[in-house]
Amino acid sequence: MKHGWKGVIRLRVEAETMTLYAVTDRAWAKEVTLMEQVKQALKGGITFLQLREKKLSEGEFIKEAREMKKLAAQYQIPFVINDNIKVALEVDADGVHIGQDDMSVEEARKLLGEDKIIGVSAHNVKEALKAQKGGADYLGVGAVCATSTKKDANVVSKEEIKKIKEAVDIPIVAIGGIKKDNIDALTGTGIDGVAVVSAIFGAKDITKDTEVGIQSGSTAADAADSVKELKNSKIKLLPDNVQILNDLGHGLDAAVMDEVVAKYYTKKDAGKYKVLEDSVAKEKYVIGFRKDDKALCNEVVKQLKAMAKDGTLKKISEKWFDDDITTIK
């Protein structure tokens, strides 16, 4: 979990972690367990996880929360509890999400401490500003569309969402009835991400509902064929990685590409993409020489080793990719 400062507002959570915010709903756990659904969602690329339970006993809730927290930690994403500070404290969750009818942000902060995340539901600019002033770390704004999760939720207009985004400095996620076929309606609002319930947990097969973009004819396409988690996904072959990245969030849920390319675009458009730590496959790269160019080959190897030894290769790598991805020793 990243920490930072923006003006006089302390950021306990970065906007990039809001991209795909998943809220659990046990009502959709029919053919598989909720825990299995969460595992699939994590593999599918969610960036934030909220556990929402309204019917479990306290003991069952705590047991489930502990297990779910471990899963979220494996994927290094924030894990918060909906509307139950006692459970959040018991399992040492990353924070809580509270609604307008729950306790105030100030009260929640006193109980949780300064390092925990507090998210707040907001429906208008007034509520958003009040939450930010009270110390909220992010806002869940909605409902964007009619939703089966909260049948009494009032729909918040696109214009109101834009006003809220312009009024606050903390990240906001849109929530409520958001699915693939209506997400484009949020274009231009400036939101940092979307919070989804049924679109993920209502899917018959969460990984199968994931549409993954891969460059046609690339080694990534070959590697994807051997990955178990991707076999159930809908693979879309596109001519180049630029188009794939442009389509992320507009039809595509994820992309598979060379790590070097992915990190380059991540640096170029900071905060726009999230590169997962998991590798689909590993492959070796080589420099080819003609058979009779042994002297040139030896000189190139010599210079590369010298550059690795004096740190030049590392500097070049960090300049372009924000990381040392070199392997030459």
Q: Please identify every residue annotated as catalytic.
A: 52, 121, 150
Residue 286 to residues 217, 262, 283, 327, Cα–Cα distance (Å): 19, 20, 10, 12
Q: How far apart are CA 44 and CA 253, in angstroms?
A: 8
95 and 119 Cβ atoms separated by less than 8 Å: yes
DSSP 228: G
327 exposure class (CB count in 10 Å sphere: 0-12, 13-18, 19+): exposed
Q: How far apart are CA 19 and CA 89, in angstroms?
A: 26
Q: How many residues does the chain have?
A: 329
287-306 b/e (C-beta count within 10 Å ≥ 16 → b): eeeeeeeeeeeeeeeeebee
44 and 206 Cβ atoms separated by less than 8 Å: yes
In 3-state terms, what secondary structure has residue 296?
helix
- Looking at the DSSP assignment, which residues form a beta bridge with residue 10? 5
159 exposure class (CB count in 10 Å sphere: 0-12, 13-18, 19+): exposed
At 129, list the tokens: 């500003």
